[in-house]
Structure 1
Amino acid sequence: MGWKEAAAPVLTRMPAVQRPEGHVPFKRKLAWTAGILVLYFFLTNVQLWGLAGGGDDLFGQFRALLAGAQGSVLQLGIGPIVTASIVLQLLGGANLLGLDTNDPRDQQLYQGLQKVLVVVMIFLTGVPMVFMGNFLPPSQQLAQSLGIGILGVQALIFAQIAVGGLLILFMDEVVSKWGVGSGIGLFIVAGVSQSLVGGFISPFGQPPEASLLKTWIAALTGGIQVPPLLTGEGIAFVLIQLQVLDLFTTLLIYGVVVYAESVRVEIPLSHARVKGARGRFPVKLIYASVLPMILVRALQANIQFLGRILYSQMGESMPDLLGVYATSGGSVYPTSGLFYYLAPIHGRGEWMWWLGQTAAEPWQIAIRVLIDLTFMVIGGGIFAIFWVETTDMGPEATARQIQNSGMQIPGFRQNTGVIEKVMERYIPQVTVIGGALVGLLAVMANMLGTIGNVTGTGLLLTISITYKLYEEIAEEQMKNMHPMMRDMFGD
């Protein structure tokens, strides 16, 4: 008996959000999406009961990308979901699962297996976060008043973040089945957009860490001293202190992503039975979208998570070969060793050694930048391929979708195999190029800096997801205006 038969009784009975039986009206989809978004913001502001303080955020610079909020019920964010997806995609890519996603029963097994893995990742991530180090410090006072000890309070904190991890899993499922887009994308956009808006107009903070608007007002009114603009010091002040470089990078990334989303190879289609009915199948440059970047960055986040856990347990006795850690501003970060070289670049200060914000040697910085670029470019291409294959966007699935809709490619026989061969000329190559391009853009944005200190990957994801949401909304409106189009879109 294979693993599928043995696990089927459990996996097929996993709790799941019921799929709509028919077409969901666009207004109802918007209502579900807005409701889940409101619930998400509410839960990020529900603080963990029994917590003595905010603690040190283990996710650090990855927080905006992994959603959630430090010290809240959604402490884990989408981390367990993304990590489970990485494991499943790697197993599926190596063909170790033996699941056919076109078979409804195998689809159910796949979704059940994903939920089981999410629960496993909640434990693997949550247990070290609560019971090791001082990442979520328990309240001594509560332990004494309830008489359950520190261990009891830690168990309460873990139970809360575990419930939050399960809630965000089902919230994502609700949006995917009843709303517009995906819940994961929605939560990332929500978190990054908060940072972007705050980086533009927030009235809090002091220059140069303050928002762009407040810093410029301070410079114009004499609140901060501006050196002569025609000197090297003045140019550096304008670019860095007045955040002009941040603004330029943000607008540049926005323009490049929007342009890349519009670059496509359009394969002509015609209806086999309806004369004159024609269309085009677009193969975009960023065919797999930028969502595979979540997987790449999440893999890096888990590597850094492991390093922090090891340091919290071993302290100064940790071998220098693995990592040497320092503390600044309440956050702990590697300054040398393996975990330093595997850490992505998060800002200008981490590679512009002449600014005096890093003690690393130029050759160390060069190695770290090269590793980050390699990780993102090659990883972006690999995960883009996995993403396309597991989301039914590959040549075979696309050919089957075109065939089922009654369309064909003019000049070719109406046969799934023939259409698949045509698609194989474009989809695999474009997928790899698009994934590598997105990885390169993400590293570039991180190195130059962005408004609100948003990570390059977070900015890319927000722009691309918002663009795709716009396209999905237009598609939904088209379906409502022309119900016959639902067959073409596979509704």
Structure 2
Amino acid sequence: MPGVLEALAEISKYIPAVEKPARRPSLPTRLMWTGIVVLLYLIMSEIPMIGVKTAGPTASAALSYLLLGMNLGTLMTLGIGPIVTAGIVLEVLVGGGLIEMDLTKPRDRKIFMGAQRTLALVFAALEAAAYAFGCRFWLQPGAGIGACPVGLDVKILVIIQLVIATLVLMWFDELVRNGWGIGSALSMFIVANVLKGMFWQLAAPVKYKGEYYGWLTQVLFNKDPAILRLGMPDMIGFLATISIIMILIYLQLMRVYIPVTSPRYGSIKTRIPLNFIYVTNIPILFVAITVSDLQILANIAASISGPDSIWAKIFAYMYVYMRPPRGLLDSVQDPVHLATFITSWLALGLLFGFIWVEVAGLSPRHQAENIIKSGMELPGIRRNVKLLERILARYIYPLTVISSLIVTGIAILADFFGAYGSGSGLVLLVGIIYSFYQSLVYERTLEMYPALQRILGR
């Protein structure tokens, strides 16, 4: 398996990439490039593909369209799905021990990133081929695949457009990550889509079954308080959105402190802060995208072999029972769906939480090594990595369990009450914005004190 990754990484050398700037641009310039990248992404999500006349659901239509930034029939038909899915697959393989790699080592990290770039384009090509040869964009509902009204040339053209669009998104992300911008472009795309979905749920001026879809427009124009509405934004969801955001902000600021001393500096005592939300928002991102991929796989299977095929039904049933409910009324109407949703999300959240801790260098072993390298030690504990690892495991593993369950539980609670932007979307929104704020503070501090850049090797 490592040989496969090395082969994929070798192929990635022939895929054009964005180089790091010779000199790091100023903070305003980097903010400008980040904004431009997000704007170009939003524009691409509205540009129809050549050979496809009609676009599909907007980004607010379903969980997959919201978090993966998909808009069927446009250049963003696949969204960020292939890129994120490639990362999830490789991280699960590495975190599960199926591939022996140490991502703290520069060589292994380079191979991992190269393999991810190649695998993302492979996934993009496979998904695009399934959509095109399944005639997803041209068939009328109920028509057989043999009745597809376009030829092979149009299908190949669509595949090429979608693969190139995925490559452009990879360039956008590399441009931001490599120092031209701030943060992660993929994270900014998720924020843009969640905010767009929240706006439509709050103030969409369109009607559905005689009612305005947006809650605020319903209240203003139909003079209806809309306290509860089946499958549509309502007052309960609005209040839940505000409450969930406040809870998430509070949790982001909570810390768990581990006391340490430094023998190098006269045994000065200090504390190492660990985020209470130790796993950050990554597990809920993995869970949401895993569930979203089930819907995509169901659509692809239905396009290729028809809606009655066994695989189309399996993926469709899995998605139906694992998808988030659409508000309080939808939750209580189907207890089986609600129970399956809660159980599967909590289990997956816990699984991805432990995987992320191992992959991201947050495990007790990695933290123990970092403490020893920094010259710190726990009071009364000799400088031994294995001994220190056992002590830290008492903090880190319970914190991983608690934070994974809390983050996933908040997302579940938000979906139960119909919070705008979906529960997973809100968790990601608050986490990404808070991380972006920390990056801004860090970069601003470096600009104010240039000496710090030399100390940090910048």
TM-score, length of structure 1 as denominator length: 0.79
Structure 2 unaligned runs (5+)?
141-148
What is the rounded CA distance, in whole Å, between the counterparts of 1:305 and 1:25 in structure 2? 41
Stretch moving more, 161-170 or 241-250: 241-250
Deviation at 1:132, TM superposition (A): 0.7
- Residue aligned with 1:73, SS: coil
User: Contact between 1:292 and 1:384, CA under 8 Å: does it hold in 2?
Assistant: yes
- Residue aligned with 1:431, SS: helix
Stretch moving more, 34-43 or 268-277: 268-277
Is residue 262 from structure 1 mapped to residue 253 from structure 2 by the alignment? yes
Q: Give the corresponding residue for 2:403.
A: 434
User: Contact between 2:75 and 2:165, CA under 8 Å: does it hold in 1?
Assistant: yes
Q: Give the corresponding residue for 1:330.
A: none
Amino acid at match of 2:109: Q
Is residue 391 from structure 1 mapped to residue 371 from structure 2 by the alignment? no
Is residue 114 from structure 1 mapped to residue 116 from structure 2 by the alignment? yes
What is the rounded CA distance, in whole Å, between the counterparts of 1:490 and 1:267 in structure 2? 28
Stretch moving more, 11-20 or 86-95: 11-20
- Residue aligned with 1:99, SS: coil
What is the rounded CA distance, in whole Å, between the counterparts of 2:388 and 2:29 in structure 1? 36
Q: Give the corresponding residue for 2:145.
A: none
User: Contact between 1:61 and 1:346, CA under 8 Å: does it hold in 2?
Assistant: no
Q: Give the corresponding residue for 1:361.
A: none
Alignment of 1:309-324 (within 5 A): 309-315=300-306, 317-318=308-309, 322=313
What is the rounded CA distance, in whole Å, between the counterparts of 1:21 and 1:402 in structure 2? 33
Is residue 44 from structure 1 mapped to residue 45 from structure 2 by the alignment? yes
Q: 2:227 aligns with which of 210, 213, 238?
A: 238
* 1:253-305 alpha-carbon deviations (Å, 9 max, x no partner): 11221122122202245555456977543222211211222221222222222
Amino acid at match of 1:288: V
What is the rounded CA distance, in whole Å, between the counterparts of 2:5 and 2:238 in structure 1? 55
User: Contact between 1:71 and 1:136, CA under 8 Å: does it hold in 2?
Assistant: no
What is the rounded CA distance, in whole Å, between the counterparts of 2:49 and 2:354 in structure 1? 39
Aligned length: 444
Deviation at 1:428, TM superposition (A): 2.3
Deviation at 1:413, TM superposition (A): 4.5
Amino acid at match of 2:227: V
Is residue 285 from structure 1 mapped to residue 300 from structure 2 by the alignment? no
Structure 1 unaligned runs (5+)?
139-147, 227-236, 324-332, 354-364
Q: 1:490 to 1:182 in 2, by over 3 A?
A: farther
User: Contact between 2:69 and 2:190, CA under 8 Å: does it hold in 1?
Assistant: yes
Q: 1:101 aligns with which of 94, 100, 103?
A: 103
User: Contact between 1:129 and 1:136, CA under 8 Å: does it hold in 2?
Assistant: no
Q: Give the corresponding residue for 1:476.
A: 443
* 1:395-414 alpha-carbon deviations (Å, 9 max, x no partner): 33333444444554455445
What is the rounded CA distance, in whole Å, between the counterparts of 2:8 and 2:129 in structure 1? 28
Deviation at 1:431, TM superposition (A): 1.7
Alignment of 1:76-475 (within 5 A): 76-135=78-137, 150-178=151-179, 179-205=181-207, 208-218=211-221, 223-224=222-223, 237-240=226-229, 243-269=234-260, 273-274=264-265, 280-315=271-306, 317-318=308-309, 322=313, 337=317, 340-348=320-328, 350-353=330-333, 365-413=334-382, 416-417=385-386, 419-451=388-420, 454-475=421-442
What is the rounded CA distance, in whole Å, between the counterparts of 2:8 and 2:170 in structure 1? 21
TM-score, length of structure 2 as denominator length: 0.84
- Residue aligned with 2:162, SS: helix
Q: 1:282 to 1:29 in 2, by over 3 A?
A: farther
Q: Give the corresponding residue for 2:144.
A: none
Q: 1:95 to 1:11 in 2, by over 3 A?
A: farther
RMSD: 3.5
Deviation at 1:308, TM superposition (A): 2.6
What is the rounded CA distance, in whole Å, between the counterparts of 2:454 and 2:349 in structure 1? 32
Amino acid at match of 1:476: E
Q: 1:75 aligns with which of 77, 84, 102?
A: 77
What is the rounded CA distance, in whole Å, between the counterparts of 1:55 and 1:202 in structure 2? 18
User: Contact between 2:252 and 2:275, CA under 8 Å: does it hold in 1?
Assistant: yes
Stretch moving more, 464-473 or 422-431: 422-431
* 1:201-243 alpha-carbon deviations (Å, 9 max, x no partner): 444547743433322223xxxx4467xxxxxxxxxx5344882
- Residue aligned with 2:256, SS: strand
User: Contact between 1:127 and 1:158, CA under 8 Å: does it hold in 2?
Assistant: yes
What is the rounded CA distance, in whole Å, between the counterparts of 1:417 and 1:29 in structure 2? 42
Deviation at 1:461, TM superposition (A): 0.8
Amino acid at match of 1:238: I
What is the rounded CA distance, in whole Å, between the counterparts of 2:19 and 2:268 in structure 1? 35
What is the rounded CA distance, in whole Å, between the counterparts of 1:316 and 1:8 in structure 2? 34
- Residue aligned with 2:104, SS: coil
Deviation at 1:393, TM superposition (A): 2.5
Amino acid at match of 2:429: T
- Residue aligned with 1:439, SS: helix
What is the rounded CA distance, in whole Å, between the counterparts of 2:12 and 2:217 in structure 1? 55
What is the rounded CA distance, in whole Å, between the counterparts of 2:57 and 2:227 in structure 1? 33
What percentage of aligned pairs have identical amino acids? 27
What is the rounded CA distance, in whole Å, between the counterparts of 1:8 and 1:56 in structure 2? 34
